[in-house]
Amino acid sequence: LKPHSDGSVELASLAVVTEFRNQRIAARLISNLMAIAPRPLYLTCRDVLQSYYEQHGFRVAPEEELQTYFRRIKKLAGVLSALHVVNNSMLVMICE
């Protein structure tokens, strides 16, 4: 759980080593972290992961619900996408 200077908290940077994937390790990590995390809880992810995080109670956050940190990140991601620096769109998601 990563706190930001604007008061927001992010579920950030989870990864599972290849040989341990498909054992629901990430799902258990997310569940345990969400049990202790303050709300709202934010995360950023590639658009292809939207449905995965929706299963954990997250939804795409509209612009008006974003804290300062996530507004900046979303703007930067939009610029990178427009320049074709990244292949997927980035989403900011929220769980209340």
Query: Of all residues in the chain, what percent carry a pLDDT higher than 70?
Result: 96
- The C-alpha atoms of residue 68 and residue 4 are separated, in whole angstroms, by 9
CA distance linking residue 44 with residue 72, whole number of Å: 12
Separation of alpha carbons 92 and 60, rounded Å: 6
pLDDT tens figures, 66-96: 999 999 988 888 777 777 766 678 899 999 9
pLDDT tops 80 at residue 62? yes
pLDDT recorded at residue 16: 93
User: How many whole angstroms separate alpha carbon 1 and alpha carbon 25?
Assistant: 17
